[in-house]
Amino acid sequence: MRRGAAKLYAEATMPAAAYAGKACVCQYDRGICDQSCVSEMLETPFYIACLKLKGRRCVVIGGGEIGLEKSEGLLACGGEVTVISPDVGPELEALAAERSITWERRKYAGPEDLEAVFIVIACTDSTETNIQIFEDAERRAMLVNIVDVPPLCNFILPAIVRTGPLAIAISTAGTSPALAKRIKREIGELFGEEYAQLAMMLNETRGWAKATLPTYQDRKAFFEQIVNGEPDPIALLRSGDAAAVEDLIGAAQRTHAPA
């Protein structure tokens, strides 16, 4: 799908969003949005977690550009994605045709759409539907995110820098996605492929550490000697000298192995 066409499609299917001066789109029904629901997020400590989605049912309600973005993110993490929407863009239609996702060509029907579902993300242009989805999900104590409507979410999606097994999450508690994107770009420049490479090399020694080093403190000291030692393993990997890092790991094993 060409970006221009995608943009036009997205403009017709954007979710109801909360901004000062616009009609309220959340369950507080304030008439005109005063953004008090957003200001409350600054006082909310979010519990940051990494979810294992492989094999779990994930539902996206809404088939526009945002629905595509959320579906692709869930697919990338192994989720079994169902999109519920009367219409979808060409890219989601293609994913459905190749059976990467399931597309149910209809509107949200109610609580039955959330049965045996782990996580639901909604991006519809109907405030009434958004509120119903949130309330149905809350009654089931399940994860729900209504895009761009903070009070209709029990979790928020941080910006992610992902390189191999390394993932770094950036959250502004929903206050400024633009700032989160800038931080994401800068972190991506700072923590490159060499960090992911070191993570994989260290993972290969975890079995040895668990089998050989008797306590948590012993294992902690072993890995910290490698990560924080001299020469710097990140600098070595940046120079292409993975063999020298293997030597560092071997030296640490000899140092920490019980006599």
- Assign residue 142 a region: left if phi > 0, alpha if psi is -120 to 50, beta otherwise? beta
- So what's the pLDDT on residue 11? 34
CA 134, 135, 136, 138 dihedral sign is: positive
- So what's the pLDDT on residue 17? 54
- So what's the pLDDT on residue 24? 66
Helices (H), ranges, 90-192? 90-97, 127-139, 177-190
Closest-CA residue to 192 (of 168, 157, 224): 168
- Could you read off the pLDDT tens digit of each residue along the chain, which spans 259 residues? 333 433 333 333 444 455 666 676 766 666 777 666 666 666 777 888 889 999 999 999 999 999 999 999 999 999 999 999 999 999 999 999 999 999 999 999 999 999 999 999 999 989 899 999 999 999 999 999 998 888 889 998 888 888 888 889 888 876 777 898 899 999 999 998 999 999 999 999 999 999 999 998 999 999 999 999 899 999 999 999 999 999 999 999 999 998 7
What is the distance between the alpha carbons of residues 147 and 170, in angstroms, rounded to a whole number? 17
Backbone angles phi, psi at 4, to 5 degrees: -60, -45
- So what's the pLDDT on residue 242? 96
Cα 61 to chain centroid distance, Å, stands at: 17
- So what's the pLDDT on residue 21? 65
- So what's the pLDDT on residue 32? 74
DSSP helix/strand/coil, 57: strand
